[in-house]
Amino acid sequence: MKIIFLNHHEDFQFFSMVRYATFLSEGMRRRGHDTEIWAPKPFLTNNNLPESIKKWLRYVDSFVLFPLRFKIQSRKLPKNTLYVLVDQALGMWMPLLRNHNHVVHCHDFIALKSALGQIKENPTSRTGKAYQRLILNGFSKADNFICISQNTQKELLGFLGKDPLRIDQVYNALEPAFKPGDIEEARTVVGNFVQRDLKAGYILNVGGNGFYKNRIGVIALYTAWREQTQLSLPLLMIGYRPSANIQAHYEASPYKKDIHFLVQVSDELLLKGYQGASVFVFPSLAEGFGWPIAEALAAGCPVITTDAAPMNEVGGKAAAYIERCPSYGELPIWATESAKVLEVTLRLGAKERATLIQKGLDQAHRFNGEGILDRIERIYKDIIG
């Protein structure tokens, strides 16, 4: 089977989407299929123009030049080729695929919901709303969908307002590297990185600066917990360099000397971070799947996350839950209540903690990569017919 995976502009590809497209392409290739990844190239932006101008030129690369290239290249391929949009945010390309075998992978609808006013924490500009309407109109014309969570599938059906020809739900797959390791060794490695003794443990958070990752909430929760507890574990936040807003909340915390931002860490250090953590805290406001939850569970780390879909879908019965963080005006009350859950989790006895970790390992088996690829391959074959 010939499969063409269509991905974002090379200058717009986030790590997670590069990883996902590569996972699909290489996985299908190992199963004997002929695969390629097509993406718009920076023809017009390969220069030293101001970023504000390059942003619009990338749209020309993506929605003018790339469609021309697609029409030329697709004519050379067999008629039974399968074209795969690796992200529903590429929905504006659906007119190119309408008369071809196709499937759309759906991740999260955070941007679309924000544009429709359904997420009050993330107001959207007029141009942003128009862009999301184009995306919605595009992927609504597709016949076949694969959703990464039950929550994404439910939201997709709501946006479509009808049943598509085919809709399947297949979870994201974990990298095999995420597994338990020696806790003392992990804490030594991470401690060397932050130049601090972490033998007693630490609280971990992983995420970017997007509003939905709620890093401000993480700092507030940690501050509230330190005000309640006799413990003094540090907080490690792995991800991008904090934005100005996040930095301001960090500066305002009386415990900022115990809060460490780990920027541009390697995959190995990320794994060690999970393996050595006393608990992983992930109070996200919204997700499509929630990679870090599954990664932490697979690495043998207790998880505290938001009691809302899809976070509680990924965590299952293996995680501890807190309420979704409300508006920032109510942040102190939420943080105080959530800190109680953190304290209880950190105070678990050895037997209770071991039971919780085992539940996490069992839950993580649901995200086995080879099994997930097998399911996706069957779907692809069915679409070809």
In DSSP notation, 40-107 reads ---TTTSS---HHHHHHHHHHIIIIIHHHHHHHHHTTS-TT-EEEES-GGGGGGHHHHTTSEEEEEE-
149 and 211 fall within a common domain: no
Q: Are 212 and 286 in contact (CB under 8 A)?
A: yes
Look at 102-106, 122-126, 196-200, 225-229 and tell me which has the smallest mean pLDDT.
122-126
Domain count, the chain: 2
104 and 160 fall within a common domain: yes
DSSP annotation of 257: G
pLDDT reading at 53 higher than 80: no
pLDDT at 13: 67
Structural domain for 73, as ranges:
2-173+368-384
List, as one string, the DSSP characters of 152-187. HHHHHHHHH-S--SEEEE------TT-----HHHHH
169 and 233 fall within a common domain: no
Report which of residues 62 and 155 the model is more confident about: 155
Classify residue 376: in a domain, yes or no: yes
Residues 6+ apart with CB under 8 A from 61: 9, 40, 41, 42, 43, 44, 45
Convert the pLDDT of each residue in 142-186 to its tens digit.
999 999 999 999 999 999 988 999 999 999 999 999 999 999 999
Q: Are 345 and 302 in contact (CB under 8 A)?
A: yes
Classify residue 73: in a domain, yes or no: yes
Classify residue 117: in a domain, yes or no: yes
For 38, the token pair is: 């097509």
List, as one string, the DSSP characters of 313-382. HHHGGGSEEEPPP--GGGHHHHHHHHHHHHHHHHT--HHHHHHHHHHHHHHHGGG-HHHHHHHHHHHHHH
CA 188 from chain center: how many Å? 28
pLDDT reading at 23 higher than 70: yes
87 and 196 fall within a common domain: no
Q: Are 265 and 242 in contact (CB under 8 A)?
A: no
pLDDT at 50: 76
- Report the DSSP beta bridge partners of residue 34: 2
pLDDT reading at 376 higher than 90: yes
Look at 1-5, 249-253, 322-326, 337-341 and tell me which has the smallest mean pLDDT.
322-326
For residues 77-102, average pLDDT: 95
114 and 231 fall within a common domain: no
pLDDT at 328: 66
117 and 149 fall within a common domain: yes
For residues 111-116, average pLDDT: 95
For residues 260-277, average pLDDT: 96
Classify residue 28: in a domain, yes or no: yes
List, as one string, the DSSP characters of 277-318. -SEEEE--S--SS-HHHHHHHHTT--EEEESSTTHHHHHGGG
Classify residue 130: in a domain, yes or no: yes
Calculate what percentage of the chain has a pLDDT beyond 90. Answer: 87
Fill in the amino acid letter for 260.
H
pLDDT at 308: 95
- Report the DSSP beta bridge partners of residue 206: 238
129 and 249 fall within a common domain: no
What average pLDDT does the chain have? 94
Q: Are 242 and 215 in contact (CB under 8 A)?
A: yes
pLDDT reading at 54 higher than 80: no
38 and 109 fall within a common domain: yes
Instruction: Tell whether omega for the bond before 123 is within 30 degrees of 0, i.e. cis.
Output: no
pLDDT reading at 15 higher than 80: no
318 and 240 fall within a common domain: yes
Give the residue among 6, 24, 5 at the shortest CA–CA distance from 375. Answer: 24
pLDDT at 320: 98
225 and 90 fall within a common domain: no
94 and 82 fall within a common domain: yes
For residue 36, what is the enclosing H or E element? strand 34-38
Convert the pLDDT of each residue in 294-339 to its tens digit.
999 999 999 999 999 999 999 999 999 999 998 767 899 999 999 9
Q: What is the CATH number of the domain that holds 328?
A: 3.40.50.2000
Gap between the Cα atoms of 324 and 73, Å rounded: 47
Classify residue 178: in a domain, yes or no: no
DSSP annotation of 230: S
pLDDT at 44: 74
pLDDT at 48: 73
Phi and psi at 261, nearest 5°, equal: -95, 120
Distances (CA, A) of 334 to 218, 271, 347, 354: 11, 29, 20, 28
- Report the DSSP beta bridge partners of residue 2: 34
Classify residue 293: in a domain, yes or no: yes
Residues 6+ apart with CB under 8 A from 46: none
pLDDT reading at 46 higher than 70: no
197 and 118 fall within a common domain: no
